[in-house]
Structure 1
Amino acid sequence: MALDSLEFPVQVAPFEQPLTNFARRVKGGQARVVAIGSSTTAGEGGIAPYPQRLLTDLRIKYPNVAIEVINRGVGGEDAPSELKRFEHDVFDLKPDLVIWQIGTNTVWQADGPSFEDTTNAIREGVDQLLRAGQIDVILMDLQYVPAVLTPAKRPKAEAMVEAISQIAHERHMNVFRRFALMEGWHEVAKISFDRLVDPGDDSRLHASDWTTDKMTWQLAGAIADATSKASHGA
């Protein structure tokens, strides 16, 4: 993280909850992460998606642990469709940590699910994960990109970010605050959207290789910090 701090002064907010189950599994020498979501998770435009990079980053942080990161992203989906895949794409895989990337397509797609349908599906999904037991959960909110920052879409994007945060707070879950992180990169560190957004994406929706790489390292660092807190009983 020191190199990131030198490059620009904006870091992701630390997780509020320790990753107790993941820490226990890491201590035992093996751990499994399942990443479920849409195109950010699945990959878009030939850019290596964050789950692939997260595997590399976590293996750097835990060189003596057999870590798996299983990618269950499907482009274009949001929480209502992803919830229907939970049994096969989450629970059957017996994960120790689930990262659920949500919210963007409801804001961006004109014919996507309603705000209410998506937030209801998020609540139901996190409740299912809680009932399953022995699974740590990280919710990943929206990307801060021009496609969701138009005058018509930005209020809905900000409301979705707030709704995800509130659901996580109520359920004592962590949020990877991607929207705030990228907003800080753009507004505080003055990193242009030309660098933040995939130059081959005419929709101005998908993150660049640079953004994906930096975001994933921040995510890996937040996971490691929350794992350490759990291991030390903090």
Structure 2
Amino acid sequence: MSLAPASWLPLLVLAGALAWTPARATDVACGAPVEAMEAAPMAGVFAALSHTDLRILVVGSASTQGGGTSGRAATWPERLQSVLAERVAPVTVAVEVFGRRGTTASDHARILAEQAPRLRPHLIIWQLGTVEAARGLPVEEMAETVQEAVARLHAVRGERTDVVLMDPQFSRFLRGNADVDSYRDWLRIAAAASGAQLFSRWAIMRHWVETDRLDLERAPTAQRVAVADRLHDCLAQAMAEFIMSGAQRGRLPRN
């Protein structure tokens, strides 16, 4: 049996990693709506999959660290690494997580400024908005912080790093006690203005609640941890679907 020339190997790896087709809403990501999985091109991820490793930096607040799950291994960033690693093998996937309860966009921007040059990620997933909405912090300042941070990233990394913003998780309590829609709207504006993308965790989780798939707030106390684990796993699957959608539409970055 003849072996492919070494120069062909990155292309063969990329072809295998992108041998993927979007699934129907009923059989992907725990029933997430297909329209929520459609990402714009991700040049950084596409380029990474043409080689041998994919580096992802996650920054956010409580849900990146535990969020009521059975432990760190059950959180959506950890599950995302496992789900993606299985999908894109033999490409290796490394997910670095920097998050802490109560942190805001300003805190995250400082982390990104420190860690992105060191890690040189192909993808940054920035989960934010919940703390700002709960505290009633100025929504315009949050949006400005996002736009400035993404602009700095693009000035250094260009198309080598894709940025995805993740909005708040769906919560009846948060909706009833904060003007969460304003924060979601401004995140959408900030994403469009900065060249980032928005992954709407709020819309996806609301769909799961409305279709009786996953409802953490109404889960019996004895089942809440198990439901939280399932929720984080489903979010990881949905995010993986979103990333693969963007990679499939991607292209190699310009020099």
TM-score per shorter chain, which class?
Answer: 0.7 to 0.9
Match of 1:31 in 2: 54
Letter in 1 for 2:205: M
Match of 1:217 in 2: 237
Deviation at 1:2, TM superposition (A): 5.1
Quote the Cα distance in structure 2 between the aligned partners of 1:167 and 1:201.
37
SS in 2 for 1:58: helix
Correspondent of 1:21 among 44, 48, 52: 44
Counting matched residue pairs gives: 223
TM-score for both structures, normalised by structure 1: 0.84
Match of 1:177 in 2: 200
Taking a change above 3 Å as real, the CA distance of residues 175 and 196 of structure 1, as seen in their structure-2 partners, is farther
The answer to whether the 8 Å contact 1:145/1:197 transfers is: no
Match of 1:106 in 2: 132
The answer to whether the 8 Å contact 1:108/1:147 transfers is: no
Match of 1:5 in 2: 26
Quote the Cα distance in structure 1 between the aligned partners of 2:86 and 2:220.
26
Gaps of 5+ in 2: 1-21
Residue 141 of structure 2 is aligned to residue 117 of structure 1: yes
Deviation at 1:146, TM superposition (A): 2.6
Residue 88 of structure 2 is aligned to residue 62 of structure 1: yes
Quote the Cα distance in structure 1 between the aligned partners of 2:31 and 2:201.
16
Deviation at 1:215, TM superposition (A): 1.1
Letter in 1 for 2:183: M
The answer to whether the 8 Å contact 1:72/1:89 transfers is: no
Match of 2:247 in 1: 227
TM-score for both structures, normalised by structure 2: 0.77
Higher helix share: 2
Correspondent of 1:91 among 117, 136, 145: 117
Quote the Cα distance in structure 1 between the aligned partners of 2:104 and 2:35.
23
Which structure has the larger Rg over C-alpha atoms? Answer: 2
The answer to whether the 8 Å contact 2:140/2:186 transfers is: no
The 5-angstrom pairing of residues 58-207 of structure 1 reads 58-109=84-135, 113-132=137-156, 133=158, 134-150=160-176, 152-153=177-178, 156-187=179-210, 189-191=211-213, 193-194=215-216, 199=221
Taking a change above 3 Å as real, the CA distance of residues 16 and 120 of structure 1, as seen in their structure-2 partners, is same
Gaps of 5+ in 1: none
RMSD of aligned C-alpha atoms? 2.8
The answer to whether the 8 Å contact 2:41/2:250 transfers is: yes
Quote the Cα distance in structure 2 between the aligned partners of 1:131 and 1:71.
23
Taking a change above 3 Å as real, the CA distance of residues 65 and 80 of structure 1, as seen in their structure-2 partners, is same
Taking a change above 3 Å as real, the CA distance of residues 224 and 192 of structure 1, as seen in their structure-2 partners, is closer
The percent identity for this pair of structures is 22
Quote the Cα distance in structure 2 between the aligned partners of 1:42 and 1:126.
23
User: Deviations for 1:37-81, whole angstroms, at most 9, x for unmatched residues?
Assistant: 111212233342111011101111111102111111122111011
